[in-house]
Structure 1
Amino acid sequence: MTDLERRDLLRGVAGAATAPFFVDSVAGQAAPDPGPVGVHAAYGRDPASTLRVGWSGAPAVDARVEIGRPDEPPTTVDAEANPVPGREAVAYAATVTGLAPDTAYEYEAVLDDRRAGPFSIETAPDATDGFTVTAVGDHGVADPENPFQRPDDDVPNRVMDVAADLDPDLQILVGDISYANGKPSTWELYFETFESFYAETPFMTAAGNHEAEPGTGLTQYDRRLNDLMPIHDPPGPDDFQHGRRWYHFDYDNTRFISLTTTADGCGDVSRGEEFVPIYDPRCEFGGVTYGDVQERYLRRVLEEALEDDDVRWKVVYFHGPFWTDSPDHAPRDLLRDRWGTILDEYGVDLVLSGDNHVWERTKPIAAKPDRDDYAPADAWDWESDVGTTYVTNGTGGVSHYGFGNRTPSEYFARRTNSYFVTTDREGGDPVVRDSFEIRKAEEHTDHGARRPTQIDLYDGPVDDDLVVQGSREDDGRVFTGGQTDRIRLTYDANRAVRIRDRIPSDWEVTGGDATRTDDGAPGDTKWVYFDSDAAESGSVTYFVEVPEGPTRTGRYALGPVQATTDDRAEWVAVPGTTSEETVVGAGTGT
């Protein structure tokens, strides 16, 4: 959560394993709500005069927004309609311009004779004494109808409740938004669930890897969210290869810039959408890659901000982090080399990312002079008092990731995997788990930008996290139906922990150290529990029988193992404890 003020001060506070993809048959989808449903709003390039409104529903002859000041006749604005994957599903988007600054409006979304609202929303003021932004990544929604849905509880709802309690001027979500993973109805559920917040709080986004869905790519994200973002630059030759998913806007004295670390499918499509690197030479068009185009854009809008006396702060956000201790998604060192140096040259104050389900805040980080390659961490200086602050905040509610090292990397001022933003409450109030300020130093970059400096306001340790490492050993990788697999799990933690494993629901536990199973795991899986005292290290062995029959032939994911302590309710994924097994369903006797 971040407050941005007109003075030389930026204040931030914070509180407290990749799912398998699948392509869901459209024929199996229920018809969408006729709508309008899932109303959400975003700012245009000028938040003081422009709003964009989106929603979904069935096809309609007349789609519009009716908006006006309270007790005044509304103005009607037509909405554009674009089909999205799903049965007769349509995403609608309307752009409302010519609004007055710092003004409250009421609006309704209309499809033929059906209405949603009224909702209340305010335009940005021309100038303020400070404003509030809430930001998080890796959110999701509990969807019992989605077998590969990540959240299976109300944590994503509690995260948004905390954000709503702060009454922000805008909400940023840095990717991995609904976790639909190919099931269109999960997108519908996501926006229905959070409509009361998103319809009245402008909602700005960046695409994450889970927005690149199997079979349909980024279509759902593009139609439901990217079409609402303030992308005003006319398409050029570079856009034939990739959709444009980067933009910027100015709120008061702050320039916000959104980039994307997720690319359209290109090159070797067998790698899967989310693994396509944005600088892949096989994805060039006209001699430039998706990363090259954004690099040029980033430099241009930062140069414009430097020349604009009204812009004091610069905040950049995208999904994949440059600096992280979580091994689930490695630091984007190529982007650190290509984009990080630009952020440093123009004195960017704060960079927000997600992807890893942890909270991490760096010390101020600046590029060391005269290096040929800025991908390695040692090409950067975190011992001085000036530089950009990088925050990884993937604590939106999906899960917690483990850290790969017991001791935090030297460049971190704070890290934790123990909380979902500020949802850890004592006496009903959010508990602050990190706090810091960013001020402007007197030092300037070579481009003339004032460098930022950071003041650490958190009086606790750098980390209070649970760090667990582990391993998994199986009898093999290919099994015939009915065979037994012996599974051995090891773990090593910085505290005494208990562990549980995750296996496919139709695999039967037949013996060993396992004492019970629980079908409450996400998707078509179940938990395996072990009757052992909490310990800092140890191992367990148990046996499972793989399913039999021709319909059971396929590839199955096991793990990751999760760990918890006796004094915490949340479980943490243990790195190094996943595997994939192939089953030939025909029995051993056939």
Structure 2
Amino acid sequence: MTRSLNPPGETPDVGIPAALAAQMSIGEQNDWLRGFLKARPVSRRSALRGAVGALAGLGMVGGIGEVLAACGSPSTGGTVAGAPAPLALSGRHLSFGADPTRQMAIGGELTAKPGGQVLIDIGADANYGSTIVAEVRELISHVPQQDGSIRSADQFFVHGLADQLSAGQRYHYRFRLPGGGTSPDSVFSTAPTGRAPFTFTAFGDQGVNGPTTVIEAFTDDYYKPADSRRTPQPASSLVAMIAKRQPAFHLLAGDICYADPTGYGKPVKNTVPAPATSTGFDNFDPTTWTAYFHSIESTAATTPWMFATGNHDMEAVYDDNKVPGATHGYGGHAARLDLPKNGPSNCPSVYSFKYSNVGVVSLDGNDLSTEIPTNAGYSGGAQVSWARQTLSALRADPNIDFIVVFHHHCAYATSASHASDGGVRSLMSPLYDEFSVDLVVQGHNHQYERTNPIKAGSTGRAAPDGATVHPLTDGTTYICVGSGGRPRYTWQPGETDRFRGNTGPDSGTRVTSYVAQAGGVKQPEQVDWSQARYLDYAVLSVDVAPGQPGAESTMTVRAISDTGQEIDAVTLARTAGAGTPKPSAMGTWGSWGHTQSGLSVPA
């Protein structure tokens, strides 16, 4: 599965010198890795053995049929001599296209390279009626290890874009090999037109809870200390909760599966020799994505999962991705994910979409962060410029009442681990004020925290549990929901939990926190905006109730613990249809209906 590069007794060449690595961008690291691997070639066959070995470590062993069964997606094709070939596919997941009323991107991972085409059947019922020829994307990843070996994997991701669908309709789909096996039938629904009520969910910092081989050996041990306070696998319980609720869509505010465990976008730990206490948290493991997609399939196969990128999603690895995509550690994302492509061309996780009376904007906090500057400024200002145009157009649209923005790093939070990021706050909060953004969903800090509405850096007014906020006059509500599965952080000294039924001794007092600035500087600040805090696992469940123009629309935001308890709630209210179109703003919206790349036919 890995290939040794050094003869016995020779000091391994294990990585970029630490002083050099600290100054390198991900693009420069990629160039270094390219040179490293050029001198130490790894055959494609070796890469394939690495991938198969990783699947075996996950319990996905034996022939293709057994692998498929282990992934929970049994083939309907036979496996006896002369029978049609089975379809070895797992981890089905959906995302909206640029226009959710008529587009749905359908994806999965093949456990073997197909011998021919892979098809996606789609229709109003299980008789289907239309067929998409799917695109198969091969991703070969090479990762140098501390001992001088190279860890490699060969993965195949399959995608199809269903276009020209009808709004507000339910569709069946399945993957199929011509004359061979199929995946199970599954369903999804397109976004409605008009003002229809709906629910969406959100969290960040999810990760994978898997067996104690391969996945944990390389990435997950650090994030799973013994913890008897709550359920032993919180990520699994939250996924089950989302599957049961069947929301219109789910937002994941970065740090998706932790295939890059360091969170700094560095290829190796760069210590020679590796310290005796090293536990391997320097090794990007591409097969973690296999386990991740399998872990969310129970909901992601029917509910679009919309991803933002966090610091653990910068993958400083050399890959032979044959799909054109952005650099800056996002090459693998181009193979694995299909997200709307209406954002800046070099920012793959920056996009927007509209659902009923809500506009949703995904931003890449890695481009904005001062705390973790590996990718800071990579867009050259294109992301902030695009965000201004997009927020302006959404706020001018009379059909959009609420604007929800989600990104990873926090503009406002009081965790002892990351707290607030000065770059995100200084670059984005003025725009949120200018265009009266209603809700900002954040991750990064592994806990739940809701602010009072904030305007120009100050609390508009107190909004305790159950309050109604009017964002137009009160300001923007920021919620950190990095409570999607990773073990919890801690609060600032003297700070306690403050949620329904547990107000804490610091209720109503100012909190001493900090803003993370460049160079590791923690700038102290006294805050009065930290309203609700919960140091455990939770998911947001947001109920949107559109009103008719001139009446009131509401968006009720609830925090639900992994045990199903509602721990906090706030209602955001606006006058429906109050947007006023502006010619200049509408002119920036010309790319809204553009179809993202992918193979599709009318369905």
TM-score calculated relative to the size of structure 2:
0.60
Q: Which amino acid aligns with 1:221?
A: H
Q: 1:247 corresponds to which letter in structure 2?
A: Y
Q: Secondary structure at the match of 1:262?
A: helix
Separation of aligned partners in 2, 1:445 and 1:361: 27
Rounded Cα–Cα distance in structure 1 between residues aligned with 2:192 and 2:51: 43
CA distance in 2, matches of 1:111, 1:325: 51
1:418-467 alpha-carbon deviations (Å, 9 max, x no partner):
34443443xxxx1111111111279x99999xxxxxxxxxxxxxxxxxxx
1:251-262 equivalence runs, <5 A: 251-262=355-366
Paired residue total: 387
* Contact map agreement 1:386 1:441 (CA 8 A) in 2: no
Distance 2:433 2:375 in 1: 23
Structure 1 contact 263–274 (Cα < 8 Å) conserved? no
Match of 1:62 in 2: 117
After superposition, the Cα gap between the structure-2 partners of 1:274 and 1:221, relative to the gap in structure 1 and judged at 3 Å, is farther
Provide the C-alpha distance between the structure 2 equivalents of 1:111 and 1:233, rounded to a whole number of angstroms. 34
Correspondent of 2:433 among 316, 320, 344: 344
Q: Deviation digits for residues 88-139 of structure 1, max 9, x if unmatched?
A: 3111221110111121111012355342221111112113441100100011
CA contact (8 A) 2:334 2:348 kept: no
Contact 1:325–1:405 (Cα < 8 Å) also in 2: no
Match of 1:438 among 566, 572, 579: 572
State the partner residue of 1:418. Answer: 536
Quick one: distance in 2 between partners of 1:184 and 1:203? 20
RMSD of Structure 2 on Structure 1 (CA): 3.0
- Evaluate the alpha carbon distance shift between residue 107 and residue 447 of structure 1 in structure 2; reply closer, same or farther with a 3 A threshold: closer
Structure 2 residue 485 is matched with structure 1 residue 393: no
Specify whether residues 203 and 332 from structure 1 end up closer, same or farther in structure 2 by C-alpha distance, changes over 3 A only.
same
Q: Does 1:319 align with 2:408?
A: yes
Matches within 5 A, 1:497-576: none
Instruction: Name the SS for the 1:306 alignment partner.
Output: helix
Mapped pair 1:51 → 2:163: no
Shift, 1:232, TM fit: 3.4
Deviation at 1:327, TM superposition (A): 2.5
Residue aligned with 2:574, SS: strand
Tell me if the contact between 2:234 and 2:537 (Cα under 8 Å) persists in the aligned partners.
no
Q: Which residue of 2 is the match for residue 547 of structure 1?
A: none
In structure 2, C-alpha distance between the alignment counterparts of 1:159 and 1:301, rounded to whole Å: 31
Kindly indicate whether residue 266 of structure 2 is the aligned counterpart of residue 156 of structure 1: no
* Structure 2 gaps, min length 5: 1-32, 34-41, 56-66, 68-86, 142-151, 226-231, 261-283, 319-328, 463-472, 496-510, 512-526, 540-559, 583-603
Which residue of structure 1 lines up, in the alignment, with residue 444 of structure 2? 355
Partner of residue 166 from structure 2, selected from 100, 106, 110: 100
Q: What is the SS of the residue equivalent to 1:89?
A: strand
More helix by share: 2
Query: 5 Å matches for 1:98-497?
Result: 98-111=164-177, 113-143=180-210, 144=212, 145-146=214-215, 147=217, 148-149=219-220, 150-151=223-224, 153-181=232-260, 182-216=284-318, 217-225=329-337, 228-232=338-342, 235=345, 239=346, 243-263=347-367, 275-279=373-377, 283=378, 290=379, 292-367=381-456, 379-383=457-461, 386-407=474-495, 408=511, 409-421=527-539, 422-425=560-563, 430-440=564-574
1:87, CA displacement in angstroms?
A: 3.2
The two structures have a TM-score, normalised by structure 1, of 0.61
Deviations 1:125-160 (A, max 9, x none): 113441100100011121222222134742111011
Between the two structures, name the one with larger relative contact order (CA 8 Å, sep ≥ 6).
2
Q: Deviations over 1:328-368 (max 9, x none)?
A: 1241112211111011100000000101101010001011x
What is the CA-CA distance between 1:80 and the residue it aligns to? 2.1
Partners in 2 of 1:151 and 1:97 — Cα distance?
A: 41
- Structure 1 residue 59, shift from structure 2 partner: 2.3
Shifted more, 205-214 versus 195-204: the winner is: 205-214
**2:186 & 2:579 partners in 1: Cα distance?**
45
Q: 1:41 to 1:424 in 2, by over 3 A?
A: closer
1:77, distance to aligned residue in structure 2 (A):
1.0
Which has a greater percent of strand? Answer: 1
Gaps of 5+ in 1: 1-22, 266-270, 284-289, 368-378, 449-590
- What is the rounded CA distance, in whole Å, between the counterparts of 2:380 and 2:407 in structure 1? 13
* Partner AA of 1:108 in structure 2: R
- Match of 1:200, SS? coil
Q: Tell me which residue corresponds to 1:35.
A: 88
SS in 1 for 2:131: strand
Displacement of 1:275 in angstroms is 4.0
1:162·1:423 contact (CA, 8 Å) conserved in 2? no
**Inter-partner Cα distance in structure 1 for 2:380 and 2:476:** 21
CA distance in 2, matches of 1:49, 1:56: 24
Q: 1:199 to 1:325 in 2, by over 3 A?
A: same
Give the whole-Å Cα distance in 2 for the aligned partners of 1:357 and 1:200: 27
SS at structure 1 position matched to 2:354 = strand
Aligned equivalents of 2:397 and 2:254: distance in 1?
29
* Percent of aligned positions that are identical: 27
Alpha-carbon separation, structure 2, partners of 1:74 and 1:88: 33
Q: Distance in 1 between matches of 2:334 and 2:368?
A: 11
Q: Which amino acid in the other structure matches residue 103 of structure 1?
A: Q
The one-letter amino acid of 1:222's match is A
| Separation in structure 2 between the aligned mates of residue 91 and residue 78 of structure 1, nearest angstrom | 14
Give me the whole-angstrom Cα distance separating, in 1, the residues matched to 2:538 and 2:431: 31
Pick closer, same or farther for the CA change 1:244–1:193 going to 2, 3 Å.
Answer: closer
